[in-house]
Amino acid sequence: MTITVVGSINLDLVASAPRLPAAGETVTGATLARHPGGKGANQALAAARLGAEVRLIGRVGDDAMAGEALALLARGGVDLTEVAVDAEAPTGVALIAVDPSGENQIVVAPGANHRVTPAQLPARIDTALIVQLELPVATVEAAVARATGFVCANLAPAASVSDALLSRCDLVVVNETEAAFYGERLHRGGGRVVVTLGARGAELYQGGVRIAVATPPPVVAVDATGAGDAFVGAIVVALLEGMEPGAALAFACAAGARAATVAGAQPSLPDRAAVRTAGR
């Protein structure tokens, strides 16, 4: 299978702290790590590690961080020929604080990601397509409109999108907070909708009716960063391979759970062997 991902590329600066700060509070004693990230890049690598042929369309800055942000994608075999280099904006950066239980707080400085325009997209996207909302909404809408095959939209972070986008999607993935933001609009498009529930698993809806539920295997969470992206990549691969919906949902839950056991977004993304053994 071949998948095109139109999405964000970031370098994640991760501070692992004894606890997450309250508003206005400083917490010290953290350790700092740098990992490639960005929802688009993460989902592209997640699908590639599970066996898909993946190309990524996005944008990085003309700076030292770009090489770090793209390193694992290149090593993982993701086609980066349509990743543009922007001389006027820096590579996107995510500032992430993580506590010992794996919970996190994230602030993103999008940089070059917000300079991906519809002009950078091909006239047609004849493969399966995955999009998120860390690029300008107009660019995401254009990508979906140009797709001729299966379309998955991870509507995160929550933002206003058109009914046309929702009606074109074969699969929409949101978490509970995002589901509350979009409300019943999610179910009017006719495609399948997945609501992820963190450690409680996920629910799959068709036409507003819940048709499948899955729970993740028990794991010791280290860092939840990237777990949702592992889920998205896994459920798209599973559905494109022809898994029935309940099995696809369980496969994706296992991928997300496995990702939460390793620090960093892209370093945590599992291959098939790791998904099969999640929780053991």
- Rounded CA-CA distance 58/73 in Å is 12
Write the single-letter amino acid at 82.
E
From the list 209, 180, 216, 177, the residue with the least C-alpha distance to 193 is: 209
**Which are the contacts of 29, defined by CB distance < 8 A and separation ≥ 6?**
17, 18
From the list 94, 51, 56, the residue with the least C-alpha distance to 73 is: 56
The three-class DSSP label of residue 252 is helix
Tell me the pairing of strands 10-16 and 31-37: antiparallel
From the list 260, 258, 261, 264, the residue with the least C-alpha distance to 278 is: 258
Count CB-CB contacts under 10 A for residue 188: 13
Instruction: Tabulate helix, strand, coil % of the chain (nearest 5).
Output: 35, 30, 35
Specify whether 271 is catalytic.
no
From the candidates 79, 163, 229, 271, which is the catalytic residue? 229
Give the residue numbers marked as catalytic. 229
